[in-house]
C-alpha cells in the first residue's frame, strides 16, 4: 500500500471511531433528557404520608381515628398518581423514566395500603365474643387493686364515696 | 373529668399494666383519676372482658370496655367496642350516665 492510501485508511478509521463516540454521547444525552417521573414518586410519597399521618396525627382524634376517612381520602390521589406515572413510563419511555422505579414503588405503595386496610378492617376487630362480659343489671364483683402509687383501692370504697363509678378497662401499654 | 365528678361519678381505669407503668402514664398525660393495676387479669376475667393472649408476649389483657356501676354495686350500663381502635368517648359515657341514672332522681 502506498503512503497516501495508508493515510486515507487511517483517517477513515479515526473518523468511524469518532462517530461511534459521538453516537454514544448522544444516546447518553438523550437518556439524561428523559424526564424524571415525578408522578410515581409523588404517588409513593402521598401513600406513605397517608399511613404515617394516621399513626402520628389522626389516631389522636376519635373523629379521624374511628373511621380513618382522611387516610382513605389521601389514598385516592396516591393511587391515581402512581397509575398515571407508571402508564407514562411505559407508553412514553423516550420521554419519561420510571420503567423500573414505577412498578417497584407501586408495589410497595399498594402493599402498604393493603396492610393498612387489613389492620383497620380486620385485625383491630378480632375480639372475643361480647356475650362473655357482665351485662347491665348484674352485680359487679367487688375487688381491691393497687393504684398507680401502689395503694390498694377497693371498688366498695369508691362506691361509698360516690354515686357511681365508671370502670374503664383498657389494653395497657405493656 | 369535672363533668363526671359533678355527677357524683368517679372514673376508674383498670389494666394489666404495673403500678409503675400506670404512674408514668398518669404523669405524662396528667390523669388524676385512679389507675388500678391488675397484672394477673383477675378482675378483668371476673368482668368477662379478658382478651386472651392479645398482649405482648401472648399476655392476657383486657379488651377495651366501660362499666357504669351504681352505689349498690349494680352494673347499670356497659359499653363493649367491636374494634379496639373505637373507644367510648367521654361525652357518650356522660350521656349514658344521664340516661340511666339522672342526677335529679337520685339526689332526692
Contacts of B67 (CB under 8 A, 6+ apart): A134, A140, A166, A167, A169, B47, B75, B77, B78
CB pair distance less than 8 Å for B70 and A146: no
Q: Strand pairing of B9-15 and B35-37?
A: parallel
CB pair distance less than 8 Å for B10 and A158: yes
Among A14-18, A66-70, A121-125, B22-26, name the one with the lowest average pLDDT. A14-18
CB pair distance less than 8 Å for B67 and A163: no
A41: confidence class by pLDDT, cuts 50, 70, 90: very high
ipTM of the complex: 0.90
Local mean pLDDT, 10-residue blocks, chain B (108 residues): 89 92 87 91 92 83 92 92 84 90 61
Q: How many angstroms separate the CA atoms of A86 and A113, rounded? A: 17
Q: What are the tens digits of pLDDT across the range B18-42?
A: 998 888 888 888 888 999 999 999 9
CB atoms within 10 A of CB B57: 6
The label of the residue with cell 408514668 reads B24
Nearest-by-CA chain A residue for B98: A164
pTM of the predicted model as reported, rounded to 2 decimal places: 0.75
What is the secondary structure of A61-127 as a DSSP string? SHHHHSS-HHHHHHHHHHHHHHHHHHHHHHH-TTTB--TTHHHHHHHHHHHHHHHHHHHHHTGGG--
pLDDT at A12: 74
Amino acid at each position: 500500500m502506498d503512503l497516501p492510501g495508508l493515510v486515507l485508511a487511517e483517517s477513515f478509521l479515526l473518523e468511524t471511531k469518532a462517530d461511534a463516540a459521538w453516537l454514544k454521547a448522544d444516546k447518553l444525552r438523550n437518556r439524561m433528557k428523559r424526564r424524571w417521573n415525578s408522578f410515581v414518586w409523588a404517588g409513593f410519597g402521598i401513600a406513605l404520608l397517608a399511613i404515617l399521618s394516621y399513626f402520628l396525627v389522626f389516631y389522636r382524634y376519635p373523629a379521624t381515628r374511628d373511621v380513618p376517612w382522611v387516610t382513605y381520602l389521601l389514598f385516592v390521589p396516591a393511587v391515581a398518581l402512581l397509575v398515571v406515572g407508571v402508564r407514562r413510563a411505559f407508553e412514553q419511555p423516550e420521554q419519561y423514566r420510571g420503567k423500573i422505579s414505577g412498578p417497584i414503588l407501586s408495589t410497595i405503595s399498594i402493599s402498604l395500603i393493603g396492610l393498612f386496610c387489613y389492620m383497620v378492617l380486620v385485625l383491630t376487630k378480632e375480639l372475643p365474643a361480647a356475650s362473655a362480659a357482665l351485662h347491665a343489671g348484674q352485680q359487679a364483683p367487688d375487688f381491691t387493686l393497687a393504684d398507680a402509687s401502689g395503694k390498694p383501692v377497693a371498688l366498695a370504697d369508691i362506691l361509698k364515696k360516690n354515686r357511681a363509678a365508671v370502670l374503664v378497662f383498657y389494653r395497657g401499654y405493656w | 373529668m369535672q363533668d363526671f365528678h359533678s355527677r357524683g361519678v368517679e372514673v376508674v381505669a383498670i389494666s394489666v399494666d404495673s403500678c409503675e407503668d400506670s404512674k408514668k402514664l398518669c404523669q405524662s398525660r396528667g390523669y388524676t383519676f385512679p389507675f388500678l393495676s391488675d397484672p394477673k387479669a383477675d378482675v378483668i376475667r371476673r368482668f368477662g372482658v379478658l382478651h386472651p393472649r392479645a398482649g405482648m408476649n401472648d399476655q392476657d389483657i383486657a379488651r377495651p370496655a366501660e362499666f357504669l356501676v351504681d352505689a349498690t354495686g349494680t352494673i347499670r350500663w356497659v359499653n363493649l367496642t367491636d374494634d379496639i381502635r373505637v373507644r367510648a368517648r367521654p361525652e357518650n359515657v356522660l350521656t349514658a350516665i344521664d340516661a340511666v341514672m339522672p342526677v335529679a332522681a337520685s339526689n332526692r
